[in-house]
Amino acid sequence: MSSFRVQHANARVDFGKPLNFTFDGRRYDGFEGDTLASALLAYDTRMVARSFKYGRPRGIVGAGAEEPNALVQVEAGAMTIPNLKATQVELYDGLVARRTTGWPTLEFDVKSFGGRFARFMAAGFYYKTFQSRRLWPKFEHLIRHAAGYGNTPVDPDPETYDHQHHHADVLVIGGGASGLLAALETGRAGLDVILIDEQSEPGGWLLSSPNSVIGGKSAPVWIKDCLAELRSLPNVRLMTRTSAFALHDMNLVQAAEQIQDHLPPSQRITGVPRQRLHRIRADRVVLATGAIERPLVFGNNDIPGILTASALTTYLNRYGVACGSRVLLMTSNDQVYQGACDLADAGCTVTVADTRYASNTEWAKRAAASGVEILNGFGIARADGGRAVAGAKLVKLHADKNEVAGDGPYVACDVIGSSGGLSPTVHLYCHDGGRPIWDESKLAFIATGTGRAKAGIYCVGAVTGEFGLQAGLEQAFRTITDLLTSLGKTPSRVASDVRTNEPAPAPPRRIFRVPDGKREGHGKKAFVDFQNDVAASDIHLAVRENYRSIEHIKRYTALGFGTDQGKLSNVNGFAIAADALGKSIPEVGTTTYRPAYSPVTFGTLAGAHEGDTFEPRRYTAMHGSHAARGAEFEPVGQWMRPWYFPKAGEDLHGAVHRECLAARRSVAIMDASTLGKIDIRGKDVRDFLNRVYANDWTKLAPGKCRYGLMLDENGMVMDDGVTACITDDHFVMTTTTGGAARVMSWLEKWHQTEWPELEVYMTSVTDHWATAAIVGPKSRAVLVKLCSDIDLSAAAFKFMDWRDGTVAGVPARVFRISFSGELSFEVNVDASYGHHVWEALMEAGAEFNITPYGTETMHVLRAEKGFIIVGQDTDGSMTPFDLDMAWAVGMKKPYSFLGKRSFTRSDTARSNRKQLVGLLTDDPKVVLKEGAQIIETSNTRPPVPMLGHVTSSYFSPELGRSIAMAVVRDGIGRRGEAGVKDGRDVVYAYAGGTAHRVKIVSSIFIDPKGERQNV
């Protein structure tokens, strides 16, 4: 037993509140405030994972978001979460976690055998082999199953997520010393401030450094006082467990809040989301994101029990866990000394191998006082131990070259911590195009405090390379002073408030890869990126193979592509690459990061856009009636339209057959409310319509309606509908259901941008009108029962007329138009009465067995008449002439209407374009597949030239046979009634392997003269 608990007062765990949990099937105890990692380490746990490529034993390395190895699967079943970092999992009672690597077991891992051949599996090895086309799929199967960490749940997520939008004057990201200072100063100045911190409590590194003193207060007291004051300010909002994972243009920050993850599933509150996406738009963003310690790179540096020095300090001071009793620390800087002293004071034997020949004298004094042994000028050549570190071989380093100068002692130890210096957490700074710069004195890519102030981005503390507490606070104070001054405000503090007990810093040694006296690749593997098994030798290999751009190096070796986003590996990788390339680090390039800073669930990103609220469903005023009558619905655009109304035991075809015959023989009724309706008014309305429609509107008289075709500028049909002339300067246009919004903004755009001089206004009245289409020979008989103030007689109310009147006691506008070819009335009323009028019509029609029908029957009825559906019979490549609808084009109109000019282009003017025709199969029972391709002969051996395709196809109950519409090259000229010779009217319709012989005919299958609608 080498690890042990140290129950000191400053620990952030509550030793009075024991919790138990399970890892990999074994039960453990921990305390409230522990993370899964700290609790496991307290049990001396070393190996928690196997490495991605070689299956090497791996342990916990860090204490937070930087952790590369300890990826665990938490909970099971629908609640399971893959790939959480044990260092970020807050312990709760009954927590169940397991490893995500190591097969069949952690102890006995198959991959580790492959690992023995690591030298044959260097970076990019799979690009160089598995080239057999036959064998690759088998290799790939193996690779896929060897890769991957946790498992996705297989059941739908029982928890929910949501979004919240915020707007603030100042957003401070990071609740460490500088972040707290920034929030206090801006808060005191009366600004709207949001402070977010990713951890369960603010404090940042101070939580790991309780012996620090700020302005005469110990760190814990200083934090407590800051928080108390922040909470007392109404203009400051403090959010914990909230990780800012992306910074976007104009200071929009996305942050993910963990609302319930730290609670046992049994204690989670239903109705409260599991996680929440905060979208924060701030005038000024203050990045107080701190820095992350990077380890030094040395042989076997991935053996479990080798952590970053700062992690060792954190586990001791914050969680009360000494990770070992014989501690070896290796450093290039001052950072490890406080921890070294604390560990020694806690009873550990501590040796510091300081790669510098001269340590910081003040720290050396304090260390000596705590009984810490310091070996100056030494580094670790190689660590020993299999699944737990047992010792390390030191070498004497050259004073100024990173080379071995001589032999060194062997140090037996049960834990190693190393520090190569700090790397500023510049991830967010990079997201919106910011570029950190390399500072050779600080050995870090740093963000500048006010360099991006113009964009409203300020950086404070360690993220700017001011790593010491004293220097960081001073820099933060200066920067916030600038920020406040730019707003005409003044800071409340005086600099003395941030004086600390920190010794003046001594310069660090510039070292990343600790030499072992061997050529790179000859000694023990020295890992740079643990999660992707990238060793220093892999980087050298990449360079050797001319992958010299840092992006190539990263991609070829996978450096920094893990879920830790290269937090530990990036700078070491750069430095080693620079070495290999013989360049300086800035010459290699600047490090940059993409969102997410730390992984965020898809659920959080989606928020409430899920299930019922994924996408709007629009309903008409009659929807209740349809649902009550058992309608099946079809989504059309955002609308839910009745598709058909099955009676008991009826399928689609049965219902449609019945509905069609009702419309043709008696009376049927359809909800047409979803059609777009646009009220257009103004003295120039006819001129306007003449420009946006192909038709001529000059002579349409009040009281009359006309069908119109709307074209895009490319000359292709984009929408259609009936437009009524109310008065000379007032028209009402109808559009397709799916096209309504598009047409409305199309018309507005043309009016606003091209023809503002036209006196016309448009208003959408789609939602105002509810529309019932009463269709069939008996429709007049039905309507007359409910409408006494319109003369409905054929003579008085002609086809394509409209009238105002009253239906079922409700003011109504009735159109005598027909999309079925039958006598038909479309009754429009204030939608508030839509349901009432629908029910009244059903009641009045009962004696004629009035039959409600849906979109499917509507399609059959209109196809029998050869009426097109835009979007089904057209696909954006059909002109009015292709549709044989020249009658709807007013070529003589003075204004060159939208799309007209395009007609005369060579390809558009071609005679043999695809044209809309009707098709009749030889076998009347065969209903062609919509989407069947038209070919010349029955030969279907590819490649077969295609003439067009079937756009609409149904069985027509009226005709007792199948009918179809299709677009066919030169089709109009090939129609049977055109008297074509030698069977040019015969083609084949191919679908799913079979070709049916069909005749090309007119697309009007019944009542070509259109007499029925005129009765």
Partner 1 sequence: MFVITCPHCREKREEEEFSYGGEAFIARPLSPETLDDAAWGDYLFMRKNTKGWNWEMWGHATGCRKWFVVKRHTATHALEGAWTLADGRKIYDAEGAGA
Partner 2 sequence: MQKDYSVWSLFKQGLRHNEGWDPAWKSPEPKPSYNVIIVGAGGHGLATAYYLAKEHNVRGIAVIEKGYLGGGNTARNTTIVRSNYLWDESAMLYEHSLKLWEGLTEDLNYNVMFSQRGVFNLGHTLQDMRDIERRVNANNLNGIDAMVLDGAEVKRRIPLIDASKSTRFPILGASFQPRAGVARHDAVAWGFARAASKYGVDIIENCEVSSMDIAGGRIKGLQTSRGYIGADQVGCVAAGHSSVLAKMAGIRLPLESHPLQAFVSESLKPCLDTVVMSNAVHGYLSQSDKGELVIGAGIDHFNSYAQRGSPHVIEHTAAAIIELFPMFSRVRMNRQWGGIVDTAPDACPIISKTTVKGLYFNCGWGTGGFKATPGSGNVFAHTIANDEPHPLNRAFDLNRFSTGHLIDEHGAAGVAH
Partner 3 sequence: MSKPATAPIIQSPLHGFGLVTVARAMNDTRGVWANEVPFLGYISLRGASTDAALTAAAAQALGLSLPTEPCTFTRDGAIKVIWVSPDEWMITCQRDRRAALLSSLAKGLEGIRSQVADNSGGFTQVLIKGRNARDVLSHCTVYDLGALGEGRVVGTTFGKSSVYLHQASDGYCLLLRRSFADYIWRYLVRAASPYGIGVAVFGPGHSGAAE
Give the footprint of partner 3 on residues 167-226 (CB under 8 A).
167, 192
Asked if residues 632 and 643 have their Cβ atoms less than 8 Å apart, the reply is yes
> CB-based burial of residue 621 (10 Å sphere; 0-12 exposed, 13-18 middle, 19+ buried)?
buried
Per CB under 8 A, the list member of 769, 815, 825, 988 interacting with partner 3 is 769
Name which of residues 256 to 285 contact partner 1 (CB under 8 A). Answer: 281
Per CB under 8 A, the list member of 232, 546, 753, 896 interacting with partner 2 is 546
CA distances for 964 relative to 655, 919, 927, angstroms: 20, 5, 8
Contact partner, 7, from partner 3, partner 2, partner 1, none, Cβ < 5-8 Å per class: none
Please give the DSSP secondary-structure letter assigned to residue 500. B
CA distances for 443 relative to 288, 322, 559, 584, angstroms: 19, 29, 20, 12
Interaction of residue 906 with partner 2, rule CB under 8 A:
yes
Asked if residues 957 and 661 have their Cβ atoms less than 8 Å apart, the reply is yes
Phi, psi of 8 (to 5 degrees): -100, 160
User: At 837, which amino acid appears?
Assistant: V
Name which of residues 820 to 849 contact partner 3 (CB under 8 A). Answer: 829-837, 840
Cα-only R_g, the chain: 38
Tokens of 160: 């929910």
Contact partner, 126, from partner 2, partner 1, partner 3, none, Cβ < 5-8 Å per class: partner 2
Stretch that binds partner 2, among 151-159, 170-178, 347-355, 813-821 (CB under 8 A): 151-159
Interaction of residue 715 with partner 2, rule CB under 8 A:
yes
Please give the DSSP secondary-structure letter assigned to residue 503. P
Strand partners, 282: 168
Rounded Cα–Cα distance for residues 75 and 635 (Å): 38
What is the smallest separation between the CB atom of 394 and partner 2, expressed in angstroms? Answer: 24
For partner 2, the closer of residues 528 and 541 by Cβ is 541
> CB-based burial of residue 966 (10 Å sphere; 0-12 exposed, 13-18 middle, 19+ buried)?
buried
CA distances for 421 relative to 87, 122, 308, angstroms: 21, 28, 10
Interaction of residue 616 with partner 1, rule CB under 8 A:
no
For partner 2, the closer of residues 253 and 394 by Cβ is 253
Interaction of residue 271 with partner 2, rule CB under 8 A:
no
Q: How many CB atoms lie within 10 A of CB 143?
A: 12
Contact partner, 277, from partner 3, partner 2, partner 1, none, Cβ < 5-8 Å per class: partner 2
Rounded Cα–Cα distance for residues 581 and 577 (Å): 6
What is the smallest separation between the CB atom of 607 and partner 1, expressed in angstroms? Answer: 13
Q: How many CB atoms lie within 10 A of CB 665?
A: 16
For partner 3, the closer of residues 673 and 1013 by Cβ is 673
Interaction of residue 93 with partner 3, rule CB under 8 A:
no
Inter-axis angle of helices 219-232 and 177-188, nearest 10: 30
Contact partner, 745, from partner 1, partner 3, partner 2, none, Cβ < 5-8 Å per class: partner 1
Asked if residues 733 and 680 have their Cβ atoms less than 8 Å apart, the reply is yes
Q: Which residue has the tokens 């934090």?
A: 223
Name which of residues 886 to 925 contact partner 1 (CB under 8 A). Answer: 896, 900-902, 904-906
Interaction of residue 169 with partner 1, rule CB under 8 A:
no
Q: Strand, coil or helix: what is 909?
A: helix
Strand 161-173 to strand 217-218: parallel, antiparallel, or no bridges (unpaired)? unpaired
Residue 272: HSE in the Cβ half-sphere, 13 Å Cα cutoff: 10
Query: Which residues 6+ apart lie within 8 Å of 5 measured at CB?
Result: 15, 42, 320, 321, 322
**Which of these, 473, 136, 132, 167, lies nearest to 290 by C-alpha position?**
473
Residue 872: HSE in the Cβ half-sphere, 13 Å Cα cutoff: 20
**Could you tell me how many residues of this chain bind partner 1 (CB under 8 A)?**
21
Per CB under 8 A, the list member of 1, 16, 104, 155 interacting with partner 2 is 155
Interaction of residue 617 with partner 2, rule CB under 8 A:
yes
Per CB under 8 A, the list member of 33, 273, 508, 738 interacting with partner 3 is 273
Contact partner, 901, from partner 1, partner 2, partner 3, none, Cβ < 5-8 Å per class: partner 1
Q: Is 448 left (phi over 0), alpha (psi -120 to 50) or beta?
A: beta
What is the smallest separation between the CB atom of 835 and partner 3, expressed in angstroms? Answer: 5
**Could you tell me how many residues of this chain bind partner 2 (CB under 8 A)?**
112
Query: Which residues 6+ apart lie within 8 Å of 884 measured at CB?
Result: 915, 916, 917, 972, 1003
Rounded Cα–Cα distance for residues 905 and 859 (Å): 33
Rounded Cα–Cα distance for residues 198 and 289 (Å): 10
Residue 341: HSE in the Cβ half-sphere, 13 Å Cα cutoff: 17
Per CB under 8 A, the list member of 155, 249, 612, 757 interacting with partner 3 is 612
Tokens of 632: 């099946």
For partner 3, the closer of residues 843 and 970 by Cβ is 843
Tokens of 272: 């409260």
**Could you tell me how many residues of this chain bind partner 3 (CB under 8 A)?**
60
For partner 1, the closer of residues 200 and 902 by Cβ is 902
**Which of these, 782, 792, 800, 791, lies nearest to 837 by C-alpha position?**
782
Interaction of residue 725 with partner 3, rule CB under 8 A:
no
Contact partner, 810, from partner 1, partner 3, partner 2, none, Cβ < 5-8 Å per class: partner 3
Per CB under 8 A, the list member of 155, 249, 400, 1011 interacting with partner 1 is 249
- Dihedral angle over CA of 99, 103, 108, 109, nearest 10: -100
Per CB under 8 A, the list member of 16, 156, 271, 943 interacting with partner 3 is 271
Interaction of residue 164 with partner 1, rule CB under 8 A:
no
Q: How many CB atoms lie within 10 A of CB 244?
A: 29
Name which of residues 719 to 758 contact partner 1 (CB under 8 A). Answer: 745, 748-749, 752-754
What is the smallest separation between the CB atom of 803 and partner 3, expressed in angstroms? Answer: 16
Contact partner, 571, from partner 3, partner 2, partner 1, none, Cβ < 5-8 Å per class: none
Interaction of residue 361 with partner 2, rule CB under 8 A:
no
Q: Strand, coil or helix: what is 689?
A: helix
Please give the DSSP secondary-structure letter assigned to residue 43. T
Stretch that binds partner 1, among 117-125, 246-254, 395-403, 820-828 (CB under 8 A): 246-254
Name which of residues 649 to 688 contact partner 3 (CB under 8 A). Answer: 679, 681-683
Interaction of residue 147 with partner 1, rule CB under 8 A:
no
Name which of residues 79 to 138 contact partner 2 (CB under 8 A). Answer: 80-83, 117, 119-120, 122, 125-133, 136-137
For partner 2, the closer of residues 224 and 910 by Cβ is 910
Rounded Cα–Cα distance for residues 202 and 177 (Å): 9
Interaction of residue 489 with partner 3, rule CB under 8 A:
no
Contact partner, 80, from partner 2, partner 3, partner 1, none, Cβ < 5-8 Å per class: partner 2
User: At 745, which amino acid appears?
Assistant: S
Interaction of residue 787 with partner 3, rule CB under 8 A:
yes
What is the smallest separation between the CB atom of 451 and partner 1, expressed in angstroms? Answer: 15
Interaction of residue 634 with partner 2, rule CB under 8 A:
yes
Name which of residues 917 to 976 contact partner 2 (CB under 8 A). Answer: 929-933, 935, 940, 942-944, 946, 949, 951
Per CB under 8 A, the list member of 17, 26, 119, 165 interacting with partner 3 is 165
Contact partner, 623, from partner 1, partner 3, partner 2, none, Cβ < 5-8 Å per class: partner 3
* List of residues contacting partner 1 (CB under 8 A): 248-250, 252, 281, 433, 713-714, 745, 748-749, 752-754, 896, 900-902, 904-906
* List of residues contacting partner 3 (CB under 8 A): 160, 162-167, 192, 271-273, 279, 281, 608-609, 612-613, 615-621, 623-624, 639, 679, 681-683, 759, 761-763, 765-770, 784-788, 806, 808-810, 829-837, 840
